[in-house]
């Protein structure tokens, strides 16, 4: 059964007659998403330091934003572990500002630095542009970690929804490049562009993220059906998931993507990866951003941050 606060939110959205995302142009969808966040997101907490960055990539500069936790030691006193974070939004919407509060919360609660990546969006820049930017930004952080006050041996990737998809794919790419990461934080990740899981059917209508909206996002990002089979778009189709970092996979019970997360977590476990799977049974897709109106969002953030802290705050070799 849906959480009462989530039921109230969905009823309010239905009464407001807000147009579904899939009926809007990408530009309009981005504007609506940015503006609507204030109605559900809590106020951004104070943070130790926020720094805008530019990461170099083969395709050009990639904007990023670094958050240092409020209780962090001075930059020259100790190297912080770091989470490289990729925002959600179906590879079409979302930016550094839409996920600013979540990044601040994760940094403060985990004691880790967070670097959010402003990757290129579809349809202007379709697959694999977002993946390429996220790989390049992650590698840039690794190379420049010490100068940024970060520990290159204690790096994680993470993201929500489309960002979880990108984080999972980047973790595979980093393993293949011989620079494996320490952890992956996958918040209701999209892992299979083919769709068709039971939760796609049972949760495809009435719970904010609908089948039509998912198809809208997917078709903008991976319009060629043959790309659905590419592990960079569908990480669950990677034939070999061994040697990947420990993972937390978090899902929501009324999310169409629930089973994609569950099945990916199972594949990680079957491949020998230390994997924790948690489902917030009474919640919907996107709820972790909605702490202003859904109390369980705070529980989810705290759990994610706790797993980050546990995985990353042990001193690394040579520090």
Which residue in 87, 99, 220, 285 is the catalytic one?
A: 285
Residue 74: the pLDDT is 72
What's the pLDDT score for residue 254? 98
Q: Which of 57, 110, 160, 161 is catalytic?
A: 161
- Per-residue tokens: 270: 């079957």
Inter-residue contact 185 to 304 (CB < 8 Å): yes
pLDDT of residue 314: 62
The residue among 302, 306, 283, 305 whose CA lies nearest residue 294 is: 283
Q: Specify the pLDDT at position 315.
A: 54
The pair of structure tokens assigned to 160 is: 């929500």
Count of positions (residues) in the chain: 319
Q: Dihedral, CA atoms, 209, 186, 37, 8, nearest 10 degrees?
A: 50
pLDDT at 317: 39
Residue 255 a catalytic site member:
yes
For the segment 75-117, what is each residue's pLDDT rounded down to a tens digit?
667 899 999 999 999 999 999 999 999 999 999 999 999 999 9
**Of the listed 95, 133, 255, 259, which one is catalytic?**
255
pLDDT in tens, 252-297: 999 999 999 999 999 999 999 999 999 999 999 999 999 999 999 9
Q: Which domains does the chain have, with CATH numbers?
A: 4-312 (3.40.50.1820)
pTM of the full structure? 0.97
Sign of the Cα torsion 148, 70, 153, 297 reads negative
Provide Rg for the chain, Cα atoms: 18
Per-residue pLDDT for the chain (319 aa), expressed as one digit of tens each? 999 999 999 999 999 978 999 999 999 999 999 999 999 999 999 999 999 999 999 999 999 999 999 987 676 678 999 999 999 999 999 999 999 999 999 999 999 999 999 999 999 999 999 999 999 999 999 999 999 999 999 999 999 999 999 999 999 999 999 999 999 999 999 999 999 999 999 999 999 999 999 999 999 999 999 999 999 999 999 999 999 999 999 999 999 999 999 999 999 999 999 999 999 999 999 999 999 999 999 999 999 999 999 999 865 433 3
What SS3 class is residue 314?
Answer: coil
Query: At CB < 8 A and 24+ separation, what contacts does 207-211 make?
Result: 207/10, 207/254, 207/255, 207/256, 207/284, 207/285, 208/10, 208/13, 208/284, 208/285, 208/286, 209/255, 209/256, 209/257, 209/284, 209/285, 209/286, 210/20, 210/22, 210/256, 211/256
Please list, in sequence order, all residues whose beta carbon lies within 8 angstroms of the beta carbon of residue 227, skipping any fewer than 6 positions away.
127, 193, 233
The pLDDT of residue 78: 84
For residues 113, 114, 115, 120, the Cα torsion angle rounded to the nearest 10 degrees is 170
Among this protein's residues, is 285 annotated catalytic?
yes
């Amino acid at each position: 059964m849906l959480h009462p606060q989530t039921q109230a939110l969905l009823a309010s959205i239905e009464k407001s007659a807000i147009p579904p995302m899939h009926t809007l142009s990408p530009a309009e969808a981005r504007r609506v998403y940015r503006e609507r966040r204030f109605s559900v997101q809590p106020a951004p907490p104070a943070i130790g330091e926020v720094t805008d960055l530019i990461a170099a990539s083969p395709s050009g500069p990639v904007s990023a934003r670094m958050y240092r936790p409020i209780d962090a030691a001075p930059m020259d006193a100790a190297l912080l572990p770091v989470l490289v974070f990729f925002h959600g939004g179906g590879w079409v919407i979302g930016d550094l500002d839409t996920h600013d509060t979540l990044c601040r919360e994760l940094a403060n609660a985990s004691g880790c630095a967070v670097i959010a990546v402003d990757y290129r969006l579809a349809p202007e820049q379709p697959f694999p542009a977002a993946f390429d930017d996220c790989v390049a930004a992650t590698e840039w952080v690794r190379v420049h970690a010490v100068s940024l006050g970060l520990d290159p041996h204690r790096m994680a990737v993470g993201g929500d929804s489309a960002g979880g998809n990108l984080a999972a794919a980047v973790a595979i790419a980093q393993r293949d490049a011989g620079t494996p990461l320490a952890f992956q934080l996958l918040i209701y990740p999209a892992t299979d562009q083919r769709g068709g899981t039971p939760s796609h059917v049972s949760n495809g209508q009435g719970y904010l993220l609908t089948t039509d909206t998912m198809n809208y996002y997917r078709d903008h990002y991976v319009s060629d059906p043959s790309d659905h089979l590419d592990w960079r778009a569908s990480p669950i189709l990677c034939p070999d998931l061994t040697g990947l970092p420990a993972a937390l996979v978090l899902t929501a019970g009324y999310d169409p993507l629930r089973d994609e997360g569950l099945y990916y977590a199972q594949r990680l476990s079957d491949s020998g990866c230390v994997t924790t799977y948690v489902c917030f049974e009474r919640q919907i897709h996107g709820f972790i951003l909605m702490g202003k109106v859904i109390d369980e969002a705070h529980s989810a953030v705290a759990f994610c941050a706790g797993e980050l802290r546990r995985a990353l705050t042990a001193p690394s070799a040579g520090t």
